[in-house]
Structure 1
Amino acid sequence: MSSPAIERDAVIAQTVHWLEKAVIGLNLCPFAKAVHVKKQIRYVVSEAETPEELLEKLMEELQYLADADPEKIDTTLLIHPNVLTDFFDFNEFLDVADAALEDLGLDGFLQIANFHPEYQFADTDQNDIGNYTNRSPYPTLHLLREDSLDRAVEAFPEAADIFEKNIETMEKLGHDGWDKLLERP
């Protein structure tokens, strides 16, 4: 039996691997590399087993990020492997997450992006390769600073084209390519 610290480390290691190989490696998010290289990403593994426990942790982390020095922590990945493992339950929780932002008075200052192992865009087949742009090893809420996002978009004039380029990248890569990309050595 492994300790919670070892399990937490393994979850973070898998998430970092995905970030480096897929998100940065395929340039799915051109803004991710800078904060990764500067070590400004906070990785938090929640032990929540219920949506209520996750909401409590989410609110803690939103406040933590809001209070943190952006030079030290620019963004947070709140990874929750034990709750909302069903994508449709996860997707419904996103309204609750957005309401938490408003309740904390952080709407417009922070925002929440989302990734999930079963991510599925509306009106797509579950196995559509385009869905893989948002597929992570574990359900993950990505807490971002609005001003950092604004600066990144200014520095990347084609930001509106990211989604289309990502779909094109994934179609070229295909399912086999995705599986090989994420293989652990």
Structure 2
Amino acid sequence: MTTDTHQIIEQTRHWVQQLIVKYNICPFARREVERKSIRYSVAENRKPQAVLQQLLDEAKHLDTTPETETTLLILPSGFEGFYEFLNLVDV
């Protein structure tokens, strides 16, 4: 894991703690944060096909790893544009 990847994951963990858990945006988040059952995965590739493959890989991981409750797939770059991101989500 690169320093940048580690920093991105730590920033996302902090965001989950300080926004999602603190303001109870997701009623299930606190328990999973406390259990450390959230997997954070950074999509470093900017190509939609590669990101979608990583999403499938994460789904497989969830199927085979019962101690992981959920995965947050983090897209730090490459899909900043609103329509770029929507096109990815649409696929």
State TM-score, norm by structure 1. Answer: 0.47
Q: What do you get for the CA RMSD once the two structures are aligned? A: 1.3
AA paired with 2:52?
Answer: L
Structure 2: 5+ residue runs without aligned partners? Answer: none
Residue pairs, 1:157-176, within 5 angstroms: none
The answer as to 2:82 corresponding to 1:87 is yes
Larger radius of gyration: 1
Q: Deviations over 1:35-88 (max 9, x none)?
A: 01000000111111111111111111111112211xx10000011212212122
Q: Tell me if structure 2 keeps the 8 A contact 1:44–1:77.
A: yes
State TM-score, norm by structure 2. Answer: 0.91
Runs ≥4 residues deviating over 2 A: none
Structure 1: 5+ residue runs without aligned partners? Answer: 97-185
What is residue 69 of structure 2 aligned with on the other side? 74
Task: Return the alpha-carbon distance in structure 2 between the equivalents of residues 85 and 59 of structure 1.
Answer: 21
CA apart distance, 1:6: 0.6
What is residue 15 of structure 1 aligned with on the other side? 12
AA paired with 2:64?
Answer: D
Task: Return the alpha-carbon distance in structure 2 between the equivalents of residues 87 and 63 of structure 1.
Answer: 28
Q: How many residues align?
A: 91
Choose the corresponding residue for 1:48, options 20, 45, 49: 45
CA apart distance, 1:93: 1.5
Task: Return the alpha-carbon distance in structure 2 between the equivalents of residues 46 and 30 of structure 1.
Answer: 26
By relative contact order (CA 8 Å, sep 6+), the higher-ranking structure is 2
Task: Return the alpha-carbon distance in structure 2 between the equivalents of residues 57 and 83 of structure 1.
Answer: 15
